[in-house]
Amino acid sequence: MSKQTVRDVNVAGKRVLVRVDFNVPLEHGVVVDDTRIQAALPTIRYLLDNGAAVILMSHLGRPKGKSSFDLRMDPVAARLSKLLGRQVQKLDDCIGPQVQAVCRSLERGDVVLLENTRFHDEEKANDPDFAAQLAALGDLYVNDAFGTAHRAHASTEGIARAVRERGGAAVAGFLMEQELSFLGQAVDDPERPFVAIMGGAKISDKIGVIEQLLERCDRLLIGGGMANTFFKAMGFEMGDSLVEEDAVATAAALLEQGKSRLVLPVDAVIADAFENDAHMRVVAPDQVPAGWRVLDIGPNTLKTFESALGGARTVVWNGPLGVFEMPAFAKGTLAVAKLLAGLDATTIVGGGDSVAAVRQSGLMDQFTHVSTGGGASLELLEGKTLPGVAALSDW
C-alpha cells in the first residue's frame, strides 16, 4: 500500500487522534450491534500496547449539525470500555477549551472518546478551521474509519491535511489497511481467473462499478433486480418486475462492452405478488407473464454460476441476487454465499445488503474479506480515490 500505517510511526508517549467508524445501531440508549466497535479494536489495542494515549472520534447517525440527546456517544463509550477492559472517558464535545484541557493532560494508556463530530455542521462541510481545532488535540492522526473514507469531512480529510501541514503524520489504521489491500488488490492486480458477481436492485446505482469490473474481470455474473434491465435491453417483456427504463440504454451498452464475459441468469423465480407467500414459478427470463415479477435467480442459473466460478482464484461479490429479505426469495443469494464459501479462492464481499445476506447465511468467517464499508467499498471497486485515504501520508 502506498500510504503509511500505524506500524510506520512511533506512537510511544504520543497523543494519537483516531477517526473510527462507531456509527452503530442504538436502541433505547444501548448499542445493539457492536461489530464496528470490535472492528476498530486491533488499532486501538496496538496504540495502547505501544505507549500511546488515544483520542477517538466518530460520527453517529444524522444529527444535522445540532447536538441531539439520542445521538450522544455515551453508550458507545460504555461498550468500548467493556470490550477494552479499561475506562473510556466520553467528553461532552469534540472541540473547545474543556476538550483541549483533557486531551493535554492525557497519559500513556488513557482512552477518551470525543462527542459525535456531526453535532457540528462544520464536520460535513469539511471546515478548515474546525478541522484544525480537531487536529490540535493530538500529536498524530490515524484514520481507521473505512466506511466514511469516501467522504471529505473534517474528521476524515481536513484533519489529515491539517496534521500534515504542521509536519505531523496522518496514517491508516489496521482496518483501513485491510480494506484497502483486499479491495484495492482485487481491482488492481487480482489473481486470475477473477470473477465478479453483481446483484441488487438497480444498475443505475452501480454503473461505474460494473464498467470497471467488466474491464478487469474474466467473468461478470449478473443477478438480482438489475438483471431485469439487461433482459429488457435484450427485448424481453419483464411483466411487473423491477426494471429501470432510464437505464435500458446503459444496459445495452454494457451488454455490448461485456459480450462473452457477461453471464446472465438462465432462469428466474417469479411471483404473482411482492409477498413471501405469493404463488411462485420458475421460468426462462423471456417467459415472464404479465402480472408476474422476477424476485430471485432460478436453479439452473445457480448451476451456470457454479460452473462460471469453477477454478476462480479471486471473487468479488456485491449485491443480493434476489429479494433476500423474504425467505421465499433468499435461496439464490444464500446458495451463492455457500458456493463462495466453498471455493479455494480469495473471496471478497462488499455492500450493506450483501454483507447482511452473508451474515444471515452464517458463513461470514469463510469469506476472505467482508468489507465494513458499503459506499466506500463500491467507490474503491469503481477505481475512485477515497478523499480520506488520499489525505494520508505517502510512503
Active site (catalytic) residues: 36, 202, 352, 375
Applying CB under 6 A, which part among 12-20, 208-216, 252-260, 351-359 lies near ligand ADP?
351-359
The yes or no reply on residue 352 touching Mg ion (CB under 5 A) is yes
- Residue 201's binding partner out of Mg ion, ligand ADP, none, with CB under 5 to 8 Å set by partner kind: ligand ADP
131 vs 355 by CB, closer to Mg ion? 355
Applying CB under 5 A, which part among 74-82, 86-94, 329-337, 352-360 lies near Mg ion?
352-360
298 vs 319 by CB, closer to Mg ion? 319
Cell of 393: 501520508
Residues binding Mg ion: number (CB under 5 A): 2
Residues in region 372-391 near ligand ADP by CB under 6 A: 374
Q: 3-class DSSP state for residue 356?
A: helix
The yes or no reply on residue 61 touching ligand ADP (CB under 6 A) is no
Residue nearest to Mg ion (CB): 353
The yes or no reply on residue 177 touching Mg ion (CB under 5 A) is no
CB proximity list for 2: less than 8 A, separation 6 or greater: 394, 395
Segment holding 307, helix H or strand E: helix 299-309
Closest CA to 36 of 140, 148, 160: 148
The yes or no reply on residue 320 touching ligand ADP (CB under 6 A) is yes
- Residue 158's binding partner out of Mg ion, ligand ADP, none, with CB under 5 to 8 Å set by partner kind: none
CB proximity list for 157: less than 8 A, separation 6 or greater: 126, 131, 151, 387, 388, 390, 391
Site map 257..296 versus ligand ADP, x via CB under 6 A? -------------------------------------xx-
Write down the least CB distance from residue 127 to ligand ADP, Å: 30
**For 33-85, where are the E strands, in sequence order?**
53-57
CB proximity list for 218: less than 8 A, separation 6 or greater: 192, 193, 194, 195, 261
25 vs 96 by CB, closer to ligand ADP? 25
Q: State whether the Cα torsion 38-40-43-46 is positive or negative.
A: negative
- Residue 34's binding partner out of ligand ADP, Mg ion, none, with CB under 5 to 8 Å set by partner kind: none
Backbone angles phi, psi at 173, to 5 degrees: -80, 180
Integer Cα distance of 276 and 267 in angstroms: 19
- Residue 280's binding partner out of ligand ADP, Mg ion, none, with CB under 5 to 8 Å set by partner kind: none
Integer Cα distance of 11 and 48 in angstroms: 9
The yes or no reply on residue 205 touching ligand ADP (CB under 6 A) is yes
143 vs 377 by CB, closer to ligand ADP? 377
The yes or no reply on residue 225 touching ligand ADP (CB under 6 A) is yes
108 vs 202 by CB, closer to ligand ADP? 202
Segment holding 79, helix H or strand E: helix 74-84
The residue count of the chain comes to 395
Closest CA to 30 of 88, 92, 74: 74
Q: 3-class DSSP state for residue 21?
A: coil
The torsion defined by the Cα of 189, 192, 193 and 198, in degrees rounded to 10, comes to: -20
The yes or no reply on residue 353 touching Mg ion (CB under 5 A) is yes
Residues binding ligand ADP (CB under 6 A): 199-201, 205, 224-225, 242, 294-295, 318-320, 322-323, 325, 351-354, 374
Residues binding Mg ion (CB under 5 A): 352-353
